[in-house]
Structure formats: structure tokens, C-alpha cells
Amino acid sequence: MIYHVQFPALGIELDVNRVAFTIGGMSIYWYGIMIALGLGLALCFGFLKAKSFGIDSDRFVDVVMVGTVISVACARAFYVAMAPFEYESVWDMINMRDGGIAIYGAVIGAFGSAYFLAKWRRLKLLPLCDLVSVCFLIGQGIGRWGNFFNQEAFGTNTNLPWGMYSEGTNEFLKLAIVTAPNGVSIDPTAPVHPTFLYESIWCLLGFLLLWAYMKHRKFDGEIFLMYIVWYGLERCVVEGLRTDSLMIGGVRVSQMIAVLSVVVGLALLIYLRRKNKDKALVVHYTFAGKGVPEGAEMSWLLGETPPTDAQLKKQREIAINLKKQLDSGAKPVGVWN
């Protein structure tokens, strides 16, 4: 389907096709492409920055690959759970080609499974959550543009210069399934808030801020808490503008989760910053693999130059050799730094 999208006050008009291209009769949607692009960029960033969190890059990729599947499944399940009787079959429930996922479902799925994934790949949980949080903002900032191509996740009417109008906004507002029962005044013929754009900008700005702050973090888990608060603040405000919010009774589910996230996140940030204000953060790089003894790791202070891959490889070999010597009953020879 092609939408004729207008930004009347800016004099901008463009045709937006939900389908990017077709392969063998199968349509490939921009929605999926934008999500895949966001995931790819997030994965590249995480791979490059993993060492600064004491995380092996290859094991990080393993965690992200499995975690992505869990996150997408949870995002869809969260969305469907809010209105299970709107779907005629199980296939309709799992079919995401037309959109229909809840970001908070993905967040809950990702961080809820992080404990088990960290144990699986022998990674420290809190540094993993810190790194994934920064990556999440990349994925969300890019992925939200999938909503633009689907002409969904928009807000109520607005007179602001960037107000958006299309056949998609018109058709949805005519139905007024969500907004009318809650007393929201709407005009299907008038421009609406492009709330997907608000969230995209907010997430990408948050990514830049947390990226800059990474080298100054005070304790493991701080970046994760900052992400929870930062994203929660945006959803507290923007969710109130949405016309397609997931509802329980008269309560917007994502807005309720956002408020709780901000309150709990801020409380923990304040408490833990006071607790760690005079401490230097130590980065712990845990070794893993065949023959590596349990608990073998290399540490350095945040702000110092991290060890090179060659240095890490050397220390890993030392750990393996020491374990072999201890297992054989021989007197250990070698130095462990």
C-alpha cells in the first residue's frame, strides 16, 4: 500500500510505500528493514565497545543473537496480550509483517533473559546490561522509522509546523477505537503528532549522551538505570499523545510502566551513586572457553587503556597452562598478572 504523506505547514508531500521490494512474490516491508537496520547498527556498536565493559566481543554477539529472538517474541506477545480477542487465529497472533510489537515487551524480554544469557556465556550481568542499554537506543531510534512507513504510532491532532497527515492517519482516526471512549477530541482530516519521530530523536539523543558518559560511569549497572529513566521520561510524555496506546481499562499500559521505571530508576541511581561516589570503577574481563579455569579474569581501572587483544590472549593462555599444571599435580610455573 502506498500512502501520500503530507506535512502541510512545511509544504512537504511524499509517497510512502510500505513495501520496499518483492522477491519471488514475497513482499519485503520497510518496517522489517528498519528494525533489521537498527539491530545491525546496534550489534556493530556493541561489538566494537564490548571490551570497555569487560565483555568478549564474540560472546556478546552470541548473547545478542539469542536475546534478539527472545525480545521479538516478547514484544509481540506483549502486544497481543493487550487485545487477544482481536485475532482470528494463532497465525494472526504471530504474524508481524503488518507491524504490531510493543517496545516495552522487547525491553522486558531482553533484560529479563539477560541473567540466563550471561551465565550461559560466562559474562558479568550488570556490565552486559549497561552495554545492551546503549545498543537498545540505537535500535529503537532507527527502528521507529518502521512506524513511519506503516503510518502508525502517531498522536492526536496538532497545529505544530511538523504536523503529519496521510490516508493512514485519516482512516485510523475515523475508527477512533482507542481515543473516542477516553474523551479525546480528534479530527481525522487534520494533521497529527508524528510521535514515532519524537521517540526516534529522543532515543538517538540518548544514545549520544550515554556513549559520551560510558567512560565516566561510576558503577556497573549505572548505564542501564540511566537508560530506564531516559526512555521512561519520553514514554511518560509521548505516550499521552498516542492514539493507538495499548490499554487496560482506562490506563495506558506503556505510560504506567514508564512512570514506574522513572521512579524506581531514579531512586536506585541516587542511592547507588552515593554509595559508590568515592570508588573507582574496576573493569573485569572474564575469560571463557575450553580449559579456562572458573573465575579467571583480567582487571583494569576505567579510564586506563584497556589491554590489547594480544595481551588478553596471552593471559588466557597463562590461565589455561596454570590449570593444567594444577590438575596434573605439578608445581605451577608462570606469572598471572
Phi, psi of 192 (to 5 degrees): -125, 165
pLDDT score of 181: 44
**In the chain, where does DSSP find H-type helix?**
30-49, 57-81, 90-94, 103-120, 125-143, 145-150, 167-175, 195-213, 222-238, 253-276, 309-328
pLDDT score of 70: 95
Segment among 63-77, 91-105, 260-274 with least mean pLDDT: 91-105
- Return the SS3 of 4: strand
| Domain ranges for the chain | 31-276, 282-328
pLDDT band at 128 (very low <50, low <70, confident <90, very high): very high
Residue 68 has pLDDT above 90, yes or no: yes
pLDDT score of 48: 97
- Residue with the larger pLDDT of the pair 186 and 223: 223
Q: What does the pLDDT look like over 240-299, one tens digit per residue?
A: 888 777 787 778 888 999 999 999 999 999 999 999 988 999 999 999 888 888 889 999
pLDDT score of 278: 86
Q: What does the pLDDT look like over 321-334, one tens digit per residue?
A: 888 887 777 665 55
Q: One-letter amino acid identity for 51?
A: K
Q: One-letter amino acid identity for 167?
A: E
- Cβ pair 245, 198 in contact under 8 A: no
pLDDT score of 182: 54
Torsion of CA 172, 107, 223, 294, to 10 degrees: -160
Question: β-strand 26-29 against 247-248: which pairing, if any?
Answer: unpaired
CB-count burial class (<10 Å; 0-12, 13-18, 19+) for 32: middle
Q: How far, in Å, CA of 239 to CA of 35, rounded?
A: 20
Q: What does the pLDDT look like over 171-221, one tens digit per residue?
A: 888 875 555 545 566 889 999 999 999 999 999 999 999 999 999 999 999
237: its cell numbers: 510524555
**Which strand (E) or helix (H) includes residue 5?**
strand 2-7
- Cβ pair 244, 153 in contact under 8 A: yes
pLDDT score of 100: 74
